Amino acid sequence: PRRTPSPRPRRGSGHSNRRVTARAMASVVASLSVPARVRAGRAAVRAAPPAKTAAVKPATRRAPARHLAVRAAAGDSCELDNFQRVSVLAEALPYLQRFAGQTVVVKYGGAAMTDESLKDRVIKDLVLLSTVGIRPILVHGGGPEINGWLKKVGIEPKFLNGLRVTDAATMEIVEMVLVGKVNKSLVSLINCAGGRAVGMCGKDGNTLRGKIKNPELGFVGDVTSVDTAVLSQLVSSGHIPVVATVAMDASGQALNVNADTAAGELAASIGAAKLILMTDVPGVCTDKDDPGTLIRELTINESRDLVGDGVIAGGMIPKVECCVKSIAQGVKSAHIIDGRAPHSLLLEILTDEGAGTMITG
């Protein structure tokens, strides 16, 4: 029989017996994103007598991200009064203290990158993290955009074992779309939201050097070396680096590097506290079609066992392997979260419940 790791609670902060609930945190973030609403709330409090408020409830095992998304779509905004909002923020203090000045590498992709409402949430979450002293680095791909432009120029996308076959003509489109269009679009969105983003690709500052992975795949690369000097200078000065995953080989030839792989290599090289992969699934599940079977925490050994047993299969294998490799190289924890769930990035970093599967050493 397949062995499934027994469920256990996520590691707590050690600073408080109470924990921030996912819904409460999402509500606070939503309210912070709407200044007029906050001002109206303040005016109401000043005009009304003190109201009896309920304490923030201890977090229980969280509902699958699918349920959170359904509630959000149904308009369940988990309204809180002002005292509850500040209580939630106070509960987040241990996490803010723990990760202040720490680097978090976020791989951005999937539906969260194509759905405009989800994209808006992710951008604002990144800016919020940067504002409170956490140092995010955003690493992105852009598969759907690339496919769209390939069709516009009459090139049919081809894949081999899940990897894009990248001939010279395709590589030209990949670099143009990732570096020139997708990257600069994300930079603009972050800057308009109040952040200070700087766009770059793996070529800049020799950040990512690589070699051809497989001649049959064309200019698809494996990372051979990482130089984090430019990234370190950017995050230390309060900027948010936005990295397109185009590397180059020793001759200067552009290489298309898998975004998960690039994020893992960057996280390990810069000594990140967390590597977060945003996907279109809740995390690692024992049944990929049932979000209720989500495994909240795995060790490296448990992850390898589940791959061997066939529980982790298909497209989840390279993501888990990427996480395992980054942890083996020094990253403290790696996370696979559902980018479709509202504010999943903040929930993973600032609450004890988390938002997906955490993999540790």
Tens of pLDDT along the chain (361 residues) come to 444 454 444 554 444 434 455 556 656 655 655 444 334 443 433 344 443 433 333 333 333 333 333 333 334 445 667 887 787 788 788 888 999 999 999 999 877 788 888 888 899 999 999 999 999 999 998 888 898 999 999 998 888 877 789 999 999 999 999 999 999 999 999 999 999 999 999 999 999 999 999 999 999 999 999 999 999 999 999 999 999 999 999 999 999 999 999 999 999 999 999 999 999 889 999 888 888 899 999 999 999 999 988 888 888 888 999 999 999 999 999 999 998 888 899 989 988 778 899 999 8
CB-based contacts of 177-185 (< 8 A; 24+ apart in sequence): 177/142, 177/145, 177/146, 177/149, 178/140, 178/141, 178/142, 178/145, 178/146, 178/244, 178/245, 178/246, 179/244, 179/246, 181/142, 181/145, 182/140, 182/142, 182/145, 182/244, 183/140, 183/242, 183/243, 183/244
Q: How far apart are CA 184 and CA 52, in angstroms?
A: 48
Q: Which residues contact 251 (CB under 8 A, 6 or more apart)?
A: none
Give the side-chain half-sphere CA count within 13 A for 146: 26
Edge-to-edge strands, sheet with 254-256: 221-226, 208-212, 246-248, 254-256
Residue 35 has a pLDDT of 46
Residue 23 has a pLDDT of 59
Q: Which stretches does DSSP call E strand in the chain?
A: 103-108, 135-140, 159-160, 163-164, 197-201, 208-212, 221-226, 240-244, 246-248, 254-256, 274-279, 297-299, 333-338, 356-360
Burial class (CB in 10 A: 0-12, 13-18, 19+), 130: buried
State the angle between helix axes of 65-73 and 22-32 in degrees (0 to 180), rounded to the nearest 10.
Answer: 40
Residue 86 has a pLDDT of 82
Q: How many CB atoms lie within 10 A of CB 339?
A: 28
Residue 30 has a pLDDT of 57
Q: What is the pTM of this model?
A: 0.79
Q: Which residues pair with 337 in a beta bridge?
A: 278, 356
